[in-house]
Amino acid sequence: MNLLIGSHVSFKKDTQLLGSAMEAISYGENCFMFYTGAPQNTTRMMIDKTLTEEALQYMKDHHIEKGNVIVHAPYIINLANNQNIDSWNFAIQFLKQEIERCEALHMSKLVLHPGSSVKLPKEVGIQNIIDALNQVITKNQTVSILLETMAGKGTEIGTTFEEIKQIIDGIHYNEHVMVCLDTCHIHDAGYDLNDIDEILEQFDQIIGIDKLGCIHINDSKNDCGAHKDRHANIGYGKIGFENLLSIIYHEKLKEVPKILETPYVGETMEDKKRLYPPYRFEIEMILNKKENEHFLSDIISYYKKD
Ligand code: FE
Ligand code: FE
Ligand code: ZN
């Protein structure tokens, strides 16, 4: 399989990177992304050296290159707002440690949401991000920080390629800064994915296509420009299956890992909602280049067996 396709997977205390890699393989993936703990908090475990070595061997055996595996920083840290100086400093310290965890795991790409300016003017927020990252990024680090393009919910920064470029330009060692393009986010931010060539042309002009280190493949529940950020399953949203395929299979994006972050799907049974990961079946549709009209029932019957 030529295509680099994977999804967000879990990272658990007892199995760490090995468990994440095994989960990715169970979905038929050749790349994946994980958080080093819960996405919504900053409690983090020690990285286990033995598990890491086992994981790297397992990945080798299953043809997953470690350079195509992505770490995502927790989304609650906010570098853009420093009104509470303690939490801003905490975010900086946390990111430094997160880079150390990435290094311990032999991971080279860390995705980061630029942040939200909240009650500060946007330009001040952008400068705060630059100042924070200049404290975090060192000359000889082996990890690249990938700034993610955002939907523009609330006061989010990074909703245009120009804003991302402005941040990159302010960073001293910006050879260690790249970009993660999220299809749901750019659609919600107002980029029309009916013309992917035009978007990539703009990206190349403004940022440079060589800076693109990861693509999040998500459909969107909302209209282009809605600034909402609600992900939908592939082909079940306003971007649509064909438009997503044209990004996934784009000639210029061959080397870039593509990561699904689509919602789990399920059914309600005895008032309890059971949810299952859709990735195995979304990847199957992507590889077949054809939508599956039994998507939901196939997932449910597959996971119900165990
Ligand atoms: Fe993200
Ligand atoms: Fe994303
Ligand atoms: Zn999102």
Residue 296 located in a structural domain: no
Residue 290 and residue 107: Cα distance in Å, rounded? 33
Residue 273 located in a structural domain: no
Residue 293 located in a structural domain: no
- Domain count of the fold of the chain: 1
Q: What is the CATH number of the domain that holds 253?
A: 3.20.20.150
Near ion ligand 2, which residues have CB within 5 Å?
182, 216
Q: What's the gap in Å between 306 CA and the centre of ligand 3?
A: 30
Residue 1 has what pLDDT? 58
Residue 235 has what pLDDT? 98
* Amino acid at the residue 138: T
Is residue 283 within 8 Å of 260, Cβ to Cβ?
yes
Residue 137 located in a structural domain: yes
10-residue stretch averages of pLDDT, the chain, 306 residues long = 92 97 98 93 93 98 98 95 97 97 98 98 98 98 98 98 98 98 98 98 98 98 98 98 98 97 88 91 98 95 82
Q: What DSSP line would sit under 273-293, residue for residue?
A: EEEE--HHHHHHHHHHTS--T
Q: What's the gap in Å between 76 CA and the centre of ligand 1?
A: 11
Looking at all shown ligands, the one closest to residue 183's CA atom is 2
Q: What's the gap in Å between 49 CA and the centre of ligand 1?
A: 27
Residue 28 located in a structural domain: yes
Residue 277 located in a structural domain: no
pTM of the model: 0.97
Which element (helix H / strand E) includes 53?
A: helix 49-61
Looking at all shown ligands, the one closest to residue 71's CA atom is 1
Looking at all shown ligands, the one closest to residue 217's CA atom is 2
Q: What's the gap in Å between 79 CA and the centre of ligand 1?
A: 15
Looking at all shown ligands, the one closest to residue 151's CA atom is 3
Q: What's the gap in Å between 270 CA and the centre of ligand 1?
A: 33
Residue 261 has what pLDDT? 98
pLDDT for 65-117, tens place per residue? Answer: 999 999 999 988 999 999 999 999 999 999 999 999 999 999 999 999 999 99
Residue 116 located in a structural domain: yes
User: For residue 97, what are the domain limits?
Assistant: 5-265
Residue 246 located in a structural domain: yes
Residue 306 has what pLDDT? 62
